[in-house]
Amino acid sequence: MLLISCPNCGSRDETEFHYGGQAHVPYPENPNDLNDREWAEFLFYRDNTKGAFAERWLHSTGCRQWFNMLRDTVTYDIQAVYPMGAPRPATSTTAPEGATK
């Protein structure tokens, strides 16, 4: 189980949280201008990164606030927790493939 540091509540078990998928996917600025291809991209296509991945989490049984997290999708190491709306922190290193936590 992941141990997640909620920015408001501190370290809590993963079971208190809900996953929100890829972070930094803004609603289209001019939705009326989008063609079918672009709508498909917005609705159905998300990055499926192997390595450091910026994603949203909701502390649903705690403060009920959303936040962003940078997590390695191979090692599951949590590299950074940061507020919604803040830019993605720079990643120093990505853990080697196949490394275990």
Partner 1 sequence: MSTHQLPEHPDFLWRNPEPKSSYDAVIVGGGGHGLATAYFLAKNHGMTNIAVLEKGWLAGGNMARNTTIIRSNYLWDESAAIYEHALKLWEILPEELEYDFLFSQRGVMNLAHTLGDVRESIRRVGANKLNGVDAEWLDPQQVKELCPILNISDNIRYPVMGATYQPRAGIAKHDHVAWAFARKCDELGVDIIQNCEVTGFVKDGNRVVGVKTNRGNINTEKVGLCAAGHSSVLAEMAGFRLPIQSHPLQALVSELHEPVHPTVVMSNHVHVYVSQAHKGELVMGAGVDSYNGYGQRGSFHVIEHQMAAAVELFPIFARAHVLRTWGGIVDTTLDASPIVGTSPVDNMFVNCGWGTGGFKATPAAGLTFAHTIATGTPHKLNKPFALERFETGALIDEHGAAAVAH
1 touches partner 1 by CB under 8 A: yes
How would you label 34-62 residue by residue, b for 16+ Cβ within 10 Å and e otherwise? eeeeeeeeeeeeeeeeeebbbbbbbbeee
61 touches partner 1 by CB under 8 A: no
The whole-angstrom distance between residue 81's C-alpha and the CA centroid of its chain comes to 9
3-state SS class at 22:
strand
Taking CB under 8 A as the criterion, the residue among 8, 28, 31, 40 binding partner 1 is 40
Taking CB under 8 A as the criterion, the residue among 23, 59, 74, 79 binding partner 1 is 74
Rounded Cα distance between 34 and 42, Å, is 10
Residue showing tokens 């502390």 = 59
Tell me whether residue 46 or residue 86 sits nearer to partner 1 (CB atom). Answer: 46
68 touches partner 1 by CB under 8 A: no
Positions that interact with partner 1 (CB under 8 A): 1-2, 13-15, 18-19, 21, 36-37, 39-41, 43-46, 48-50, 53, 55, 71, 73-76
